[in-house]
Structure 1
Amino acid sequence: MSTFETRLAELGVTLPDAPAPAANYVPSVITGDTVYISGQISQNPDGSFITGKVGADLSVEEGAAAAQTCAISLLAQVKAACGGDLDRLVRVVKLVGFVNSHGDFTEQPKVINGASDFLVEALGDAGKHARSAVSAGALPFNVAVEIEGIFQIKP
């Protein structure tokens, strides 16, 4: 078990299999020491989607929990891109988080903190990253949150 996976286990998290793409795209692209992970959507461990508009159907706290599920899927995709070796991960470089919300909702950063806080707790300094948190009028399958990421890895 990798060092990062040991820490995840201490937090009670086991990485799932990397989710398969839902359309005509690849889950990750590696160029040099950078891996780009396609947007990961909020879903429960059983694969069901976490849906609804944050601020209307879901609270900010529920949205943050949904964002954490996206972060877990991002790490699963990084592990898959690295041939199953999560210890190739050097750091999280950037996240772009989309929150399914109405135009008057302004707490997107608090929602995406669910992913950011989790990554720092799980990865330490390697989890600190640049980030954007934006509103989306709708997301695929009506999911609450979608997050894409850029990661530095060991070649």
Structure 2
Amino acid sequence: MWSDIIHEFADSPSQGRVVRFLLENGFGVNTDGKICSNGIDIPATAIAKAIGSDRRVVDATARRILERPFLRGIFLNMRATPDLSRVAESLGLSVITVMPKDANEKGIVGAAVRVLSNHSLAIRQIFVTDPQFSEDPKLVIIMEDPLPAGVVDEIRALPQVRQVII
């Protein structure tokens, strides 16, 4: 699906950068053709500055999204969710980051969750970066409990795992 979205902008690399940025950040487009996050408008100038582009490219991308039913349905319903990993310590939560050997391989999340579940650990949030948008995709798991001894070694021993960061 992501490749279909990016393919829609193959003829315009500058608009392709805008779309990639919107997807990476969970930003949508409202019916007025404005970039938004959870219903809050984000100025096109701010998006343009963040990606080193021009406001007009951002506006043209938003209009193009609304003109295509496939894209319209996606971006009108896009929602951003908070990433608790950056505030986990302040909230008294634990974070474990799993770097996969091959992010396109199936079962990475299930295998890691199974290890945590076997130790009765409560998971608050799971965040996975999409391998099509991230140069270094990862699985981030935020838990209520501190990690008991051996859990990191069990996750590190999974065949899909390249590295574990705590």
TM-score category by the smaller chain? under 0.3
TM-score (norm 2): 0.24
Higher RCO (CA-CA < 8 Å; seq separation 6+): 1
**Structure with greater proportional helix content:** 2
Larger radius of gyration: 2
TM-score (norm 1): 0.25
